[in-house]
Structure 1
Amino acid sequence: MLRSVDLERALRFYAALGIALSREQHGSGPEHLAATIGTLVLEIYPQGSANKTLGVRLGFRVKSLVTTIARLQAINGVIVSPMQESQWGLRAVVSDPDGHQLELVEGNR
């Protein structure tokens, strides 16, 4: 679970990564975003007065890192570490609009 100061902005960013978040609300809890990715559930809640989640770093495999980085740059995404070959494949680190770092790796290694 991540926290965001702007759910709409988070929705656009993660959509550019190919993650289809939807709006959910459970009982009287806050409206938030959620997506199921395989067996993982990613939720993004409003920041509110809760502790920030900036210490979280997530990793995702993407089909094409070049295409993904281009989509993120088109919405002013921040590239923390540019694309480079690594032992895991072509890799880059980006930052979402709230400052969470995401490690992106291309392929199925």
Structure 2
Amino acid sequence: MNLSYVVLYVSDLQQSFKFYRDLGFGLTAEQHGNGPPHYSFSVGDLLIELYPAKDKKVSQFRLGIALGNSSPLLQLLDINNEKIVRDPDGNVLHFTKILN
């Protein structure tokens, strides 16, 4: 069994897009049928979708992301072992370096 995707409801879709794009995640614009336009990106095998919250509650989460030695995020975020970053809605992204 594998977790395949997670939907995050964000307060400002464009602000969240810029945040995750600037971290180096490759976001893709999507729209399924008559659903709202949104963005998606992958972390390993997990697809993360960013949807506008509109009348829904903004998602609250803590996401742990392990980075390999070749990840450009290690230098971008100046990560030695770990670093905590908050997205525009205050959600926590906990980056850790995989030690070899």
When normalised by structure 1's length, the TM-score is: 0.71
Aligned CA distance change for structure 1 residues 108 and 32 (closer, same or farther; 3 Å): farther
1:103 aligns with 2:94: yes
Instruction: Please identify runs of 4+ aligned residues in structure 1 that moved more than 6 A.
Output: none
Aligned CA distance change for structure 1 residues 25 and 101 (closer, same or farther; 3 Å): same
Greater strand proportion: 1
Q: Between the two proteins, what is the percent identity of the paired residues?
A: 33
**Stretch moving more, 35-44 or 25-34:** 35-44
**Stretch moving more, 36-45 or 18-27:** 36-45
Cα shift readout 1:19-59 (whole Å, capped 9, x = no counterpart): 111110001111111113332111000011112211x1111
Count of paired positions: 91
Q: Which runs of 5+ in 1 are unaligned?
A: 71-82
1:17 aligns with 2:8: no
Using the alignment, how far apart are the partners of 2:65 and 2:89 within structure 1? 17
Secondary structure of 2:29's aligned partner: strand
Aligned partners of 2:11 and 2:58 also within 8 Å: no
Query: Which of 39, 49, 62 is the matching residue for 1:43?
Result: 49
Aligned CA distance change for structure 1 residues 27 and 97 (closer, same or farther; 3 Å): same
Using the alignment, how far apart are the partners of 1:14 and 1:36 within structure 2? 11
When normalised by structure 2's length, the TM-score is: 0.76
Greater helix proportion: 1
